[in-house]
A and B are shown apart, each in its own frame.
Chain A
């Protein structure tokens, strides 16, 4: 280490105070007035602080919204059934399910078109997963085009309600039968058009009616449920279902182990939901993660859930012998 590199020790004798700053030093000495100015600047902050603190003594927290919501309803009316079903439960303040027992609710539906009132019957259902739930049964068959108002009334008079309008009965148009020559190309498709249906139906099922196994037996009906995206498509203001015989024959052949009985007729059943029963937000399909949110697709007042209706639209027709045989199905 060279002398120039060695650390330089401070001299051992005290050095008188010297200002070595190359820059002017601010006036020394206490400056209480300046401090007072500083405190004056702080005064508004302190006042605000006092106001805030005075409201800060509350330490309780209410996790609940103060909104009048009493029951959750899930279900729909169906023109295809003589007995309607609804799942109803009381909105509760604990996550645990209540002990089994009667629900404090009187459930009625009113046909707003005819004025007929139906009182529903409660039942406690044990589900496969071991939980229980209240299912209400209403003994009536709803009419196409009628509006129904559901009321779930608690003992203290609080009411949860919802209204649905059952879709009108439609007259479907059965399109031209495919030519037998198309069958060999696997494109044996016949359109069926339901006028005025603009929303995707809740379900589309194709029914094939076959000859009974014995003459004294009833016809054998086989129902094939079409899944998305085969439920059809919107064409202008109509909904068009495209019955795909080629694909259906494959399914039927598997079902009958290759020995398909004689075919008598074909039918389409289209379950048309009411105008509110559509995927929320203009989405093309229903999304579980969205539907589960309380604010999604609900028409229930003072409650949660969805009360819908479905109008079953039907069409039936027969196939020509030529087409039936071209499909590989015996004609009657």
Chain B
């Protein structure tokens, strides 16, 4: 196969860098390996490994999400080693390195038994460097568990949906709009496996319960070249491995969910473990009794993971995840009394995600090799139960490898991948009168991401991603940077990012109706024009200690070649699509204060999303040029306040969210349209019923706000048995928040009313 010129250039550049760095490595030594929790074998991300020579000179490394560290270019000799992590005892060791030696060590840290006392103090977490890169928010289970949720099953989406740049249309639908993008423009990965619609119909839940979560990188924009195929955001979820030392697990029940999870070692040496989690919705059968209303939803998420250490240089994981959602969004809260059965349409989606990931540290080469093989299956149905007229399925097999080459303090990640996708859709004429089609697509990708720290004050991360897809190749340059006046211990940090992004698969939905979340996946592009975006991000962060942080980040996105439903005044079944472009401008502000048992955070987001309809018809109707409008997910103001307090063993969590009203199109009413393109006879032509729409999206729905409160206490019944009791209330002051307004029937669909909840969790360890 002949590579495109840009691809060849990149390969040659990477090879040149690798070749230039190899001789230097032969004269020095290095130490690499993993840092783990001695109690359960979990990788510790963010641990510090310090190597000190006889003269007191210090070299160091911080572990990545796999717990991987690497200290390179060390002169031969004896070294003292210090390994530290917040909440863990300091580990000290000595070692001797010979010239050219590539030593591998696994360090296991013991958790500090003294509650509330930090045995070690790390600079990490106290300085601006812990605030993260441009557009990035690193989410950890502790961040999620501070938030109130109905029941005791904390979930990643409850955190993500409160971020200032994230708009959700309501507490149902599982649709996240990030900084002006649409849900299908978000890339969601679980252990490197793409998932197409991982958010459940009930907006409190996703496929990612906190129980299985190690961390998640949420890029609201400006992501590096490692990620591609989407133009809005990335949610890269890394799951925990099971406990390698002992068995543990939990069961829980609340009004929405029943859950169970179990994990434990698979070998006596602690080299292998498993983790299984299952969450099943129970809201459908219990709602009529508890809430005197039908909540016709069923969903589940099932997760399993095997982790194996193949020596000290290689780890392998096998991940499997299945999700299911089925429900009717349009009828909820419509006042339909319990027990009334009407023929309805419903939406169903299923995900299957399976993957094998292997991480290897080749001996003698300063490389980290990562290999991924994944299979993604997704199915989305809409229509009458059992006879759904709309269906979209996606099968995607991905194979890829990433090589991270460590060159002193610089780092070069070079990766490639191949993806085979089968798209099969039956749309029943819903979009552009397309009935059905099958597409087979193959994509080849190669990327390079480089980290170039220029001292401790300034860092650059250039990258480029090249793809060959449907006979066309694309080049997507990326650049990320930080500036910390004062070095790594600086309290102030400036960050920036710029990049070009392209979308290879497109999820088309009929956004004329918020209750219709059916998404059909098709190959992107109108001719050669593939949806693309340019992101520009600039931010400032201040962090003086763990007690206080402040971040502000501005962003600009330029969007091109998007497909959006055209404006139509006739209640047509088939949505015509029109080409649009747009811009998004916004500012996210976040601050948090933590003092003793109390935590408070405030996040405010301003954004202005504008689309331009390039369709000739729109231009004719609304003026000479392209018609500019705020799309239905444009929420200019959004604010979230969280207060969590530990009082005598009780954790009280409160969260208040506010969002400005979303755009909608008003009408003058209804009439009958009669076509007059010739000498039509109005006594014969019955005409067509029509909604007398005004200017598209020229009005705003009422503001959204809601207060959620929960109170939780963990009782240590036995040393190895905890019982958690939780009580809470969702929408505490019973705000009547609008989910959507059906402009044809004028039926108002509201979001969930005040819902009290209680939960019980039993955990053994």
How many Å from the CB of B605 to the closest CB on chain A?
11
How many Å from the CB of B625 to the closest CB on chain A?
12
Give the residue name and chain of the B residue nearest to A72 (CB): B671
Interface string of A276-295 (1 = CB under 8 A from B): 01001101011111111111
Give the residue name and chain of the A residue nearest to B90 (CB): A15
Please indicate which of the listed interface residues B38, B550, B683 has the most CB atoms of chain A within 10 Å of its own CB.
B683
How many Å from the CB of B126 to the closest CB on chain A?
6
- Decide: B50 and A49 in contact? CB cutoff 8 A: no
- Interface range on chain B (Cβ under 8 Å from partner): 35 or more
Q: Which of A45-101 contact B (CB under 8 A)?
A: 45, 49, 52-53, 55-56, 58-65, 67, 69, 72, 74-76, 78, 85-87, 89, 91-95, 97
Q: Does A203 reach chain B (CB closer than 8 Å)? A: yes
Known: A34-B544, A291-B675. A21 touches B121 (CB 8 A): yes
B-binding segment of A1-9, A257-265, A323-331: A1-9
- Decide: A59 and B738 in contact? CB cutoff 8 A: yes
- Interface range on chain A (Cβ under 8 Å from partner): 35 or more
- Decide: B687 and A20 in contact? CB cutoff 8 A: no
Of A4, A52, A288, the contact of B660 (CB 8 Å cutoff): A52
| Set of chain A residues within 8 Å of B84, measured between Cβ atoms | 20-21
Q: Does A311 reach chain B (CB closer than 8 Å)? A: no
- Decide: B658 and A49 in contact? CB cutoff 8 A: yes
Q: How far is the CA of A303 from the CA of B676 in the complex (A)?
A: 17
Q: Does B622 reach chain A (CB closer than 8 Å)? A: yes
Known: A25-B489, A35-B548. A290 touches B669 (CB 8 A): no
Q: Does B744 reach chain A (CB closer than 8 Å)? A: yes
- Decide: A26 and B126 in contact? CB cutoff 8 A: yes
Of A1, A8, A97, A292, the contact of B688 (CB 8 Å cutoff): A292
Please indicate which of the listed interface residues A20, A60, A92, A125 has the most CB atoms of chain B within 10 Å of its own CB.
A20
- Decide: A19 and B121 in contact? CB cutoff 8 A: yes
- Decide: B686 and A203 in contact? CB cutoff 8 A: no
Q: How far is the CA of A93 from the CA of B691 in the complex (A)?
A: 10
| Set of chain A residues within 8 Å of B666, measured between Cβ atoms | 62-65
Q: Does A42 reach chain B (CB closer than 8 Å)? A: yes
- Decide: A293 and B547 in contact? CB cutoff 8 A: no
Q: Does B621 reach chain A (CB closer than 8 Å)? A: yes
How many Å from the CB of B578 to the closest CB on chain A?
10
Q: How far is the CA of A129 from the CA of B685 in the complex (A)?
A: 9
Q: Which of B658-675 contact A (CB under 8 A)?
A: 658, 660, 664, 666-675
- Decide: A20 and B745 in contact? CB cutoff 8 A: no
Q: Does B724 reach chain A (CB closer than 8 Å)? A: no
Q: Does A208 reach chain B (CB closer than 8 Å)? A: no
How many Å from the CB of B590 to the closest CB on chain A?
11
| Set of chain B residues within 8 Å of A55, measured between Cβ atoms | 703
How many Å from the CB of A232 to the closest CB on chain B?
15
- Decide: B120 and A18 in contact? CB cutoff 8 A: yes
Of A34, A60, A76, A92, the contact of B676 (CB 8 Å cutoff): A76
Q: How far is the CA of A24 from the CA of B666 in the complex (A)?
A: 60
Q: Does B617 reach chain A (CB closer than 8 Å)? A: yes
Q: Does A155 reach chain B (CB closer than 8 Å)? A: no
Please indicate which of the listed interface residues A24, A128, A280 has the most CB atoms of chain B within 10 Å of its own CB.
A24
| Set of chain B residues within 8 Å of A24, measured between Cβ atoms | 123, 489
Q: Does B48 reach chain A (CB closer than 8 Å)? A: yes
Q: Does B252 reach chain A (CB closer than 8 Å)? A: no
- Decide: B570 and A10 in contact? CB cutoff 8 A: no
Of A30, A59, A87, A310, the contact of B702 (CB 8 Å cutoff): A59
- Decide: B106 and A202 in contact? CB cutoff 8 A: no
Q: Does B651 reach chain A (CB closer than 8 Å)? A: no
Q: Does B305 reach chain A (CB closer than 8 Å)? A: no
Give the residue name and chain of the A residue nearest to B88 (CB): A10
How many Å from the CB of B335 to the closest CB on chain A?
16
- Decide: A56 and B489 in contact? CB cutoff 8 A: no
Q: Does B512 reach chain A (CB closer than 8 Å)? A: no
Q: How far is the CA of A74 from the CA of B690 in the complex (A)?
A: 14
- Decide: B673 and A91 in contact? CB cutoff 8 A: no
Of B88, B108, B688, the contact of A7 (CB 8 Å cutoff): B108
- Decide: B670 and A203 in contact? CB cutoff 8 A: no
Q: How far is the CA of A71 from the CA of B48 in the complex (A)?
A: 75
- Decide: B639 and A49 in contact? CB cutoff 8 A: yes
Q: How far is the CA of A271 from the CA of B680 in the complex (A)?
A: 12
- Decide: B619 and A10 in contact? CB cutoff 8 A: no
Q: Does A218 reach chain B (CB closer than 8 Å)? A: no
- Decide: A10 and B108 in contact? CB cutoff 8 A: yes
Q: Does A187 reach chain B (CB closer than 8 Å)? A: no
Q: How far is the CA of A290 from the CA of B746 in the complex (A)?
A: 24
Please indicate which of the listed interface residues A15, A94, A296 has the most CB atoms of chain B within 10 Å of its own CB.
A15
Of B118, B491, B660, B667, the contact of A64 (CB 8 Å cutoff): B667
How many Å from the CB of B102 to the closest CB on chain A?
11
Q: How far is the CA of A291 from the CA of B748 in the complex (A)?
A: 29
Q: Does B637 reach chain A (CB closer than 8 Å)? A: yes
Give the residue name and chain of the A residue nearest to B80 (CB): A20
- Decide: A14 and B89 in contact? CB cutoff 8 A: yes
| Set of chain B residues within 8 Å of A76, measured between Cβ atoms | 676, 679
- Decide: B693 and A95 in contact? CB cutoff 8 A: no
How many Å from the CB of A270 to the closest CB on chain B?
11
- Decide: A128 and B682 in contact? CB cutoff 8 A: no
Give the residue name and chain of the A residue nearest to B737 (CB): A59
Q: Does B82 reach chain A (CB closer than 8 Å)? A: yes
Interface string of A18-38 (1 = CB under 8 A from B): 111111111000110011001
| Set of chain B residues within 8 Å of A34, measured between Cβ atoms | 544, 548
Of A78, A95, A131, the contact of B691 (CB 8 Å cutoff): A95
| Set of chain A residues within 8 Å of B677, measured between Cβ atoms | 285-286, 288, 291
Q: Which of B585-642 contact A (CB under 8 A)?
A: 589, 591, 593, 595, 602, 604, 616-617, 619-622, 637, 639
Of B547, B604, B683, the contact of A35 (CB 8 Å cutoff): B547
How many Å from the CB of A22 to the closest CB on chain B?
4
Q: Does A135 reach chain B (CB closer than 8 Å)? A: yes
Interface string of B706-744 (1 = CB under 8 A from A): 000000000000000000000000000001111001011
Known: A15-B119, A64-B666. A202 touches B107 (CB 8 A): no
What are 23 A-B pairs at a CB distance below 8 A? A4-B105, A8-B107, A14-B89, A15-B119, A20-B48, A20-B82, A20-B122, A23-B456, A38-B550, A38-B591, A52-B637, A52-B660, A56-B705, A74-B674, A92-B669, A95-B571, A133-B672, A202-B678, A280-B620, A292-B570, A292-B675, A293-B617, A294-B693
Which B positions have Cβ atoms within 8 angstroms of A? Answer: 36, 38, 48, 50, 58, 60, 82, 84, 88-93, 103-110, 118-123, 126-127, 311-312, 456, 487-489, 491, 544-545, 547-548, 550, 566-571, 576, 589, 591, 593, 595, 602, 604, 616-617, 619-622, 637, 639, 658, 660, 664, 666-679, 681-694, 701-703, 705, 735-738, 741, 743-746, 748
Q: Which 9 A-B pairs have the closest CB atoms?
A: A281-B620, A127-B686, A286-B677, A56-B703, A74-B674, A22-B58, A72-B671, A20-B82, A87-B682
Q: A10-B108, A87-B672, A127-B685 are in contact. List 11 more A-B contacts (CB 8 A).
A: A7-B107, A23-B123, A56-B658, A63-B743, A65-B694, A135-B683, A283-B616, A286-B675, A290-B621, A292-B688, A304-B692
